[in-house]
Structure 1
Amino acid sequence: MSWLKLNRWEVLGLLCGIFAVYSPVIRFEFLNWDDTWYIINNELIQSWSFEGLYGIATEPVARNFAPLTIFTFLIEHTLWGMWSGGYHLTNLALHAINAILAYALLRRLTGSSLLAWTVSLIFALHPVQVETVAWVSSRKSLLSATFMLASFICWLRPDRTSRDEGFGTLWLILGLLSKASAVVVPPIVIAYDVLIARRSFAESFAKQVVPMFFSVLLILVTMSAQTTIVGGVRGHIGASKLWILAIDATILWRYVGMSLYPTNLCVLYDPATTGIAHWIALSVIGWVGVGVWTFRTRHSNPVPLFCFVTWLFLLFPVLNLFPITTLMNDRYLYLPLIPFFVGVFNVAGVCWMKIRSTESSSLARRIPTPAIAVTLGVMLCGLYTLRTLDYLNVWANPVTLWNHARQITPTLPVVQIQWAITLESEGRRDLAIQTLQRAMEQNPDSGDAERIQSKIDLWTETSQVTPES
């Protein structure tokens, strides 16, 4: 409470910005993209019976073991049934909490309230966050981020106590029960200890034995839940790890571009995976250069290397080294935006100070560094807010979502399938069948082809049934 009182204006500014931009989500509908599994047809959240509670604690849902996330849906189903606005309101509240936690963490790590608040506001209002905030099924990302940030607040401090470590481990466990991506907390803590707090690797590793035990345990449970591979984009499933790493090198640069200048955002992407040898080579060279530069400057300025390593760790669970059905998504950047922009502002500040120190920069010396930081922060926040406001309504309902997706990635069979499902639910069955027939002409893989044909057969047969029969 004392911290909130001391930082009340910064917190109030974050809350006002978030609710002003994202408040329309309360009117948004459920989507026919995982919401059906997590909410609409999920029997586990429909009662407080012993069988239901046991199922929440032990059963994976939609191939994910996230019992704490499912438990929040049980609470909400009890409160407002199938009113989608209540679920969206919870997502919005969690996003606001995460922005405040990010500010609290960065305020202590950087020692600058201006930098901490600017990065937290960018994190809150950036358009790539729309998917996570406006999609009910991204609750697991929001909830796990809450506990991960709380764990970081406890762990990432040079003078932490055993009490901090105990609470840090507790928050990590809750994060793991919300989403498996929280497994990256221990390696990030080790990176902080070694690079920032200047502890020895052995000392830091010893402190992370218990957190890593719970992380490995959760990984094993989650991997056992991945028994089927359906939906999404599956062309990369079964590929060699070397090939996956090569594609990841190009996708990571796309994430850099999306973070700095987000455009053509979409629910699904279709990144090129063939005929891009030159892009792979350039990407690898670029990342080697970034790694070498940040490593060489680690003694004089360890922040860029720590931000780079943290960014990579936060993205590691979604780099398809453990196969998932999409190569890239907006929601994968939810927490990585924080270290990314801390690093960007740190490098920009260092460059500006070097410019001011040169003899020919008399004009630059008259412009204070905070003025440059404020100007850059205002410009970025304004740009991202406008883009978020423009993109937000895409996620209002299935029609707007998949109509937008088929304009951005029209060649993806799964996009055409979801668009057809949306049309059929709107009573436009003939058009839905035509959409699937066109999708079949795009040579989908065997899984999509079987799914498309089964729906064509079902809808055609249903259309032929007369009321008398």
Structure 2
Amino acid sequence: MLKTKYQILFLAFIVLGLYYPALFSPSCSTDDSYMINNLLNMEDFSIRALFFPHGAGQYYRPLLYLSFVFDKYLWGLEESFMHLENVLLHLVNTLLVFAVTRQLLKLMRQEADNWLPLAAALIFAVHPINTEPVNWISGRTDLMAGTFVLTSLWLLLESLRSAKVLPAFLSGCALLLGCLCKEPALFFAPPALFLVLCYDRMEGLHQSIRARIVRGAAPVLFIVLGASAYLLMRSSALSSKDSGIAAVTKQIQAPPTDILNLARIVAKLTGFYLKKVFLPFPLNFGIVEVANLYVVPGVLFLLVLCWLLYRRSVSAFLVFSGFCICAPSFILAVSEMSWTPIAERYLYMPSACFAIWLVFQGSRLLKDRLTWAPVMVSALGLLLTGSAYATVSRGILWQDNAALFADTLKKSPNFGVARNDLGVALLKQGKKEEAYKIFKSGGVGNFQAASLNIAKVLIEEKDFGAAHKLLRERYKEHTRYHAKVLDMLVQVLEAQKANAKTPHESRVLNRELAEVICEQYQATGNPFYQYRLGLTHLSLDNRSSAYRCFSSAKAAAPATAHYRPAAIRLAQQFRKQAP
């Protein structure tokens, strides 16, 4: 068997080789572009505001956001470097799977230098289900959470093996850090507590109740403290409204009929994700529908899980961990909190548990059947080769947004988000006619981003009336695209004003324009909008209001602002009209 250092080098070679194409991928129009634009426009930064904003929201992932802030200041949000970070995180997690498997073997008093750790790490490294979080910049949330959860598990195993307090304390800290990257990390706490209860039964290792209490007290204490610390931090940070907790509470308080439907959905998704972890194909970035037939394997799996928990074995722990970490995604499916209700990225952390479980099961089969060894090794080789090919092919697909969303649309033809993003990708490639055809098709959906793209087409075709109507409908919805809605509404109103046929029509448009520009100023505090508002008040012959706006713009505008000289001149010109 290769020495440990050579195994680590081999794993690094495999991961970096498989995901090398990711370095040449652009940012994805789904989430990546919006996040990068926000970071580029971020003028100041506060650690305290990041961790304790005292606001509202459904996600609380300050450590993840902090990593993106570092990207801004370290290498200016260069896409290739951001992709490289994802690849390196996946490499770290692969090595952690290797280390956790060795630690499990030590706890079970088996030889840690056998082939199991390398096999588990290789299966995790090449598993095609992991291509989405690794190739997608925004998928870093799963990678970082996975790093800390696996670290927490390694430290927990070390604490149980050595009966030392420090690893237990660090395990709780790692769990907290994982939760600050993505919420499902919190759901590793129940399996961690289960491990403390069942570790003594692993492969005939039996201890007295007193010995188990002494050895397990510190791990239990620090795991509970880590989870509690996250909940307290989240409660403080989202003190105005926690939409995530509210969604969970709503499902718990649902009527009995809704509970039965929720149980059906949970069973169906369990069966679907179970199939995905064993057979991930077809890979799809936008899964929106799951066949009801998956209810059957889902129910069977849940029954088997109950039996495994009763047995209190290492297999029970691994299967229970994968299920618990995946379970929060069920809430997303029923509450529509995410742009896609079902996703392959939700299986990133569970796939690590699956890889370790699979090699342990293979080892158990070979225990008394050594003649099967050549067959098992050949099967593993074929599995790894096929998975590696699929992983590389998928990575190459991610290099082209148009190809990625065309593939997504082929597999989910009714997914409006994918159709809209395909149009965006084609537009960036200069294929204007194809993009506009997609936006006008009516199949892009009725959500904000798609509506804005439809409005762009209407503006391009000078159908300002239809664009105005659409934007006014979206104006009522205060989503993350509201600022863009205001910008486009100003553009449309200016165009309509230029084509106004009567003074009355022009006055009505100017009043609406003043309302929109005023909201832009209130939202941003940018003095340029005060200058624009002053010009609009002049069109309404409201000179006193115009003077106040010009004076405000003059006082607040930067010395180099292009509109400042005009604001100064107009403020002086209309000073006499001031009240």
What TM-score do the two structures reach when normalised by structure 2? 0.67
Q: Measure, in 1, the Cα distance between the counterparts of 2:302 and 2:328.
A: 21
Q: Sequence identity of aligned pairs in percent?
A: 20
Q: Tell me, yes or no, if structure 1 residue 77 matches structure 2 residue 72.
A: yes
Q: Measure, in 2, the Cα distance between the counterparts of 1:61 and 1:126.
A: 36
Q: Measure, in 2, the Cα distance between the counterparts of 1:226 and 1:454.
A: 25
Contact 2:268 2:290 in 1 (8 A): no
Q: Measure, in 1, the Cα distance between the counterparts of 2:11 and 2:452.
A: 48
Structure 1 or 2, whichever has the larger Rg, is 2
Match of 1:16 in 2: 13
- Correspondent of 1:106 among 101, 111, 116: 101
Q: Tell me, yes or no, if structure 1 residue 316 matches structure 2 residue 330.
A: no
AA aligned to 1:268 is G
Contact 1:311 1:340 in 2 (8 A): yes
Match of 1:361 in 2: none
Q: Please give the per-residue CA displacement for 1:116-172, whole angstroms capped at 9, x wherever unaligned.
A: 111111111111111111111111211121112111111124234111122112222
Match of 1:233 in 2: none
> Judging changes above 3 Å, is the alpha-carbon distance between structure 1 residues 108 and 399 closer, same or farther for their aligned structure 2 residues?
same
Q: State the SS of the aligned residue for 1:42.
A: helix
- Correspondent of 2:62 among 62, 67, 70: 67
Task: Please identify, of 306-315 and 218-227, the stretch whose mean Cα deviation from structure 2 is larger.
Answer: 218-227
> Judging changes above 3 Å, is the alpha-carbon distance between structure 1 residues 368 and 152 closer, same or farther for their aligned structure 2 residues?
same
Match of 2:231 in 1: 216
> Judging changes above 3 Å, is the alpha-carbon distance between structure 1 residues 222 and 24 closer, same or farther for their aligned structure 2 residues?
farther
Q: Tell me, yes or no, if structure 1 residue 344 matches structure 2 residue 358.
A: yes
Q: Tell me, yes or no, if structure 1 residue 57 matches structure 2 residue 71.
A: no
Q: Measure, in 2, the Cα distance between the counterparts of 1:132 and 1:62.
A: 23
> Judging changes above 3 Å, is the alpha-carbon distance between structure 1 residues 222 and 13 closer, same or farther for their aligned structure 2 residues?
farther
> Judging changes above 3 Å, is the alpha-carbon distance between structure 1 residues 171 and 288 closer, same or farther for their aligned structure 2 residues?
closer
Q: State the SS of the aligned residue for 1:264.
A: coil
Q: Measure, in 2, the Cα distance between the counterparts of 1:109 and 1:99.
A: 15
AA aligned to 1:312 is F
Match of 2:264 in 1: 246
- Correspondent of 2:33 among 28, 31, 36: 36
Q: Measure, in 2, the Cα distance between the counterparts of 1:404 and 1:7.
A: 40
Contact 2:284 2:411 in 1 (8 A): yes
Q: Please give the per-residue CA displacement for 1:286-330, whole angstroms capped at 9, x wherever unaligned.
A: 1244235424644xxx12211221111111221217833233211
Shift of 1:266: 1.1
AA aligned to 1:332 is Y
Q: Tell me, yes or no, if structure 1 residue 170 matches structure 2 residue 173.
A: yes
Q: Measure, in 2, the Cα distance between the counterparts of 1:130 and 1:250.
A: 23
Contact 1:176 1:218 in 2 (8 A): no
> Judging changes above 3 Å, is the alpha-carbon distance between structure 1 residues 450 and 310 closer, same or farther for their aligned structure 2 residues?
closer
Q: How does 1:262-273 map to 2 (within 5 A)?
A: 262-272=280-290
Contact 1:14 1:121 in 2 (8 A): yes
The structure with higher relative contact order (CA 8 Å, sep 6+) is: 1
Q: Tell me, yes or no, if structure 1 residue 378 matches structure 2 residue 381.
A: yes
Q: Structure 2: give runs of 5+ residues left out of the alignment.
A: 202-211, 247-253, 465-494, 499-579
Contact 1:65 1:225 in 2 (8 A): no
Q: How does 1:438-449 map to 2 (within 5 A)?
A: 438-440=441-443, 448=446
Q: How does 1:259-408 map to 2 (within 5 A)?
A: 259-272=277-290, 276=292, 279-280=294-295, 282-295=296-309, 297-298=311-312, 302-320=313-331, 323=335, 324-325=337-338, 326-353=340-367, 356=369, 367=371, 369=373, 371-408=374-411
Shift of 1:58: 3.7
Shift of 1:388: 0.8
Contact 1:244 1:320 in 2 (8 A): no
What TM-score do the two structures reach when normalised by structure 1? 0.81
Contact 1:318 1:332 in 2 (8 A): yes
Q: Measure, in 1, the Cα distance between the counterparts of 2:216 and 2:164.
A: 18
Q: State the SS of the aligned residue for 1:464.
A: coil
Q: Measure, in 2, the Cα distance between the counterparts of 1:327 and 1:268.
A: 9
Q: Please give the per-residue CA displacement for 1:441-460, whole angstroms capped at 9, x wherever unaligned.
A: x9x5xxx2676455323321
Match of 2:434 in 1: 431
AA aligned to 1:97 is V
Q: Measure, in 2, the Cα distance between the counterparts of 1:461 and 1:61.
A: 34
Q: Structure 1: give runs of 5+ residues left out of the alignment.
A: 230-236, 357-364
Q: Measure, in 2, the Cα distance between the counterparts of 1:61 and 1:12.
A: 45
Q: Please give the per-residue CA displacement for 1:336-394, whole angstroms capped at 9, x wherever unaligned.
A: 1122233233334434546x4xxxxxxxx5x265x455333322211210111121122
Q: Measure, in 2, the Cα distance between the counterparts of 1:350 and 1:213.
A: 38
Match of 1:234 in 2: none
AA aligned to 2:262 is I
- Correspondent of 1:257 among 275, 281, 299: 275
Q: Measure, in 1, the Cα distance between the counterparts of 2:61 and 2:302.
A: 36
Q: Measure, in 2, the Cα distance between the counterparts of 1:12 and 1:215.
A: 35
AA aligned to 1:291 is L
Shift of 1:258: 2.1
Task: Please identify, of 116-125 and 32-41, the stretch whose mean Cα deviation from structure 2 is larger.
Answer: 32-41
Q: Please give the per-residue CA displacement for 1:12-68, whole angstroms capped at 9, x wherever unaligned.
A: 010000111111111111110111232233357x55x4x454443345899532222
Q: Measure, in 2, the Cα distance between the counterparts of 1:341 and 1:83.
A: 33
Q: Measure, in 2, the Cα distance between the counterparts of 1:133 and 1:308.
A: 23
Contact 1:151 1:167 in 2 (8 A): yes
